Amino acid sequence: MENSFVIGVDFGTDSVRSLVVNTRTGEEVGSAVHYYPRWQKGLYCDPAVQQYRQHPLDYLEGLEQSILGALKQCPAGTAALVKGIAVDTTGSTPGPVDETGTPLALLPGFENNPNAMFVLWKDHTGNKEAALINETAHSNETDYTKYCGGIYSSEWYWAKILHVITEDAAVREKAASWVEHCDWIPALLTGNKRLSTLLRSRCAAGHKAMWHASWGGLPPKDFLEKLNPLLGKYDQTYTDTVEATVPAGTISEEWATRLGLSKDVVIGTGAFDAHMGAVGGGIQSYSLCKVIGTSTCDILVAPMEEAGHLFVKGICGQVDGSVIPGMLGLEAGQSAYGDVFAWLRRLIMGPLYALLPEDKEKLTAVEDKLLGYLSQQAQQLPLKDNDPLALDWFNGRRTPDANHTVKSTITGLHLGIDAVQMFKALVEATAFGAQSIAERFAKEGVPIKEVIALGGVAKKSSYAMQVLADVMNRPIRIVNSENACALGAAMFAAVAAGVYTDIKSAQKAMTSGFETVWQPRQENVPYYAARYRQFQELGAFTEKLYV
């Protein structure tokens, strides 16, 4: 096989990364990151009410700049050999669009309206709407939540749409439809300006929008109008969805020129970051792949003939082909992981920035070292039964059993507790949350044969990964690539472009392998098992406060 290249584009919470990969060897020959400037300024967000919106200009600028930056790192002539591009995004991150599929925030009069922007995955302004969806679905003849764990979440598609159209009449009237971020980018790159031909991701629709083939697609119009008659104006009753190996088309002349690529480049259909990241991480049947970032997404695949009949309660959906075509894709996760440690960092550093503005550069240098220092100190602490204990529900609970109205609890504090002990409690909390997900899969009849971890925290925090191995009492395999989500997208691009016939072949040729395996320390397993039981008891007590 002659050398050819594909580009995987990974839209994360804070930035977008583009990765150029050799399809024959899997070598990552160019990579670039673009941080969203509006997001960095905190524009259009209000953490106090859990409102998180992102402007499509951040995505547009990041798409172009990250691809151009990645190509600049490549040997001369690489751009001419690029065969395909595929993207992954966070999700559910839908946005309102007009009849041409253009996000409303790109139109005059809507440029600074947060409701006209993409509603980021961690936006929980739709908590009341999620409760309404659950109440309506559970009393309906057909329960449209049964393939998404039985509990609909405010992090998902319909809750977000309902909240925005109830709150904002101008957006409600102008929007012709709503489109997931992962569906908009392929349409943009191919120049598709017709909603009727815009391809909808199986991954996004199945896990977040209650799409299922057994009832003909999305929930029917009469059910949606039970939620709110205002939903009746939108064309949201599409029946067909596509797996991420299906091409969306070829690149438009405009984008080929902007990126310096051939007009023959194939654009793949999109999917969510964790699902493509699991493929990039080497997921196989009954691997639990933990994609660890600001939150975690836990992805598992199983043969349809073995697990297709199950209804796994309290997870984020089970969808045929959402990860790998022909396999059942199951998703779970934690609503906050890296965000938990970012909170502690802000708690410590925030007053210092306010009091010492003239020392901002020095303080930034200290902040960059803070979590590393806390990790080094925490791993030297003895394990005590009366150590502080925390829940990982800083952004609500994603799974098991979605509930984004609950809050975290920290107990066991006294005047002798310092920042290192607090950090230790938070690391343990995230590991206990991970264990609760693994237990739910096992309880529902889905075995876990191995645990794979990928992402920045997985590679950088040896302390967090060792604690995770101890709590789960399982080896944790760490993916070698620092860009596993973008690498997974590149694999899908290679299949969409016809370089490989299926994902298995692309994985075999392009996988990065594993850099290390964290083994559980058996002497610590009983301690953490006892602490995990206390974690569960604290969770049950805390949840009663928010009923």
Q: Mark residue 513 as left, alpha or beta (left: phi above 0; alpha: psi -120 to 50; beta: remaining).
A: left
Q: Are the C-beta atoms of 24 and 56 separated by less than 8 Å? A: no
**Among residues 431, 391, 392, 389, which one has the least CA distance to residue 414?**
389
List the structure tokens of 78. Answer: 């690489």
Residue 307 maps to a domain: no
DSSP string, 23-63: TTT--EEEEEEEE-HHHHTTTT-BGGGTB-EE-HHHHHHHH
Direct distance between the N- and C-terminal alpha carbons of the chain, in angstroms, rounded to an integer = 60
Together in a domain, 368 and 490:
no
Residue 187 maps to a domain: yes
Instruction: Determine the Cα–Cα distance for residues 68 and 452; give it in Å rounded to an integer.
Output: 31
Residue 306 maps to a domain: no
Q: What is the CATH number of the domain that holds 540?
A: 3.30.420.40
**The predicted structure's pLDDT at residue 235:** 63
Residue 310 maps to a domain: no
Specify which residues 331 forms β-bridges with. Answer: 299
Together in a domain, 24 and 112:
yes
Together in a domain, 271 and 342:
no
Together in a domain, 428 and 498:
no
Together in a domain, 404 and 507:
no
C-alpha torsion 100→106→109→111, nearest 10: 150
Q: How many other CB atoms are found less than 10 A from the CB of residue 375?
A: 20
Together in a domain, 96 and 204:
yes
Residue 299 maps to a domain: no
SS3 203: helix
**What is the total count of domains within the chain?**
2
List the structure tokens of 154. Answer: 């405010």
**The predicted structure's pLDDT at residue 365:** 97
What is the reported pTM? Answer: 0.92
C-alpha torsion 134→139→141→144, nearest 10: 10
DSSP string, 147-163: GGTT---TTSHHHHHHH
Q: How many other CB atoms are found less than 10 A from the CB of residue 57?
A: 16
Instruction: Determine the Cα–Cα distance for residues 492 and 382; give it in Å rounded to an integer.
Output: 46
Q: Note every long-range contact of 41-47, with CB atoms under 8 Å and residues 24 or more positions apart, other chains counting.
A: 44/112, 44/114, 44/117, 45/114
DSSP string, 458-491: HHH-HHHHHHHHHHHTS-EEEES-TTHHHHHHHH
Instruction: Determine the Cα–Cα distance for residues 55 and 39; give it in Å rounded to an integer.
Output: 8
Instruction: Determine the Cα–Cα distance for residues 434 and 398; give it in Å rounded to an integer.
Output: 11
DSSP state of 198: -
Instruction: Determine the Cα–Cα distance for residues 105 and 349; give it in Å rounded to an integer.
Output: 34
Together in a domain, 221 and 144:
yes
Q: How many other CB atoms are found less than 10 A from the CB of residue 233?
A: 14
Together in a domain, 342 and 267:
no
**The predicted structure's pLDDT at residue 236:** 61
Together in a domain, 360 and 443:
yes
Specify which residues 287 forms β-bridges with. Answer: 450
Q: Are the C-beta atoms of 122 and 335 separated by less than 8 Å? A: yes
Instruction: Determine the Cα–Cα distance for residues 352 and 346; give it in Å rounded to an integer.
Output: 10
Q: Are the C-beta atoms of 299 and 283 separated by less than 8 Å? A: yes
Together in a domain, 437 and 497:
no
pLDDT per residue, tens digit, the chain (547 aa), is: 578 999 999 999 999 999 999 999 999 999 999 999 999 999 999 998 999 999 999 999 999 999 999 999 999 999 999 999 999 999 899 999 999 999 999 999 999 999 999 999 999 999 999 999 999 999 999 999 999 999 999 999 999 999 999 999 999 999 999 999 999 999 999 999 999 999 999 999 999 999 999 999 999 989 999 999 988 877 665 778 999 999 999 999 999 999 999 999 999 999 999 999 999 999 999 999 999 988 999 999 999 999 988 889 999 999 999 999 999 999 999 999 999 999 999 999 999 999 999 999 999 999 999 999 999 999 999 999 999 999 999 989 999 998 988 999 999 999 999 999 999 999 999 999 999 999 999 999 999 999 999 988 888 899 999 999 999 999 999 999 999 999 999 999 999 999 999 999 999 999 999 999 999 999 999 999 999 999 999 999 999 887 5
Residue 219 maps to a domain: yes
Range of the domain at 152: 5-281+482-512
Specify which residues 394 forms β-bridges with. Answer: 396
Parallel, antiparallel, or unpaired: how do β-strands 327-334 and 389-390 relate?
A: unpaired
Parallel, antiparallel, or unpaired: how do β-strands 266-268 and 82-89 relate?
A: parallel
**Among residues 219, 279, 214, which one has the least CA distance to residue 243?**
279
Run of H or E including 277: helix 273-280
SS3 267: strand
CA angle at residue 246 from 488 to 255, to 5 degrees? Answer: 80
Residue 333 maps to a domain: no
Together in a domain, 177 and 247:
yes
Parallel, antiparallel, or unpaired: how do β-strands 53-54 and 118-119 relate?
A: antiparallel
Together in a domain, 151 and 267:
yes
Residue 111 maps to a domain: yes
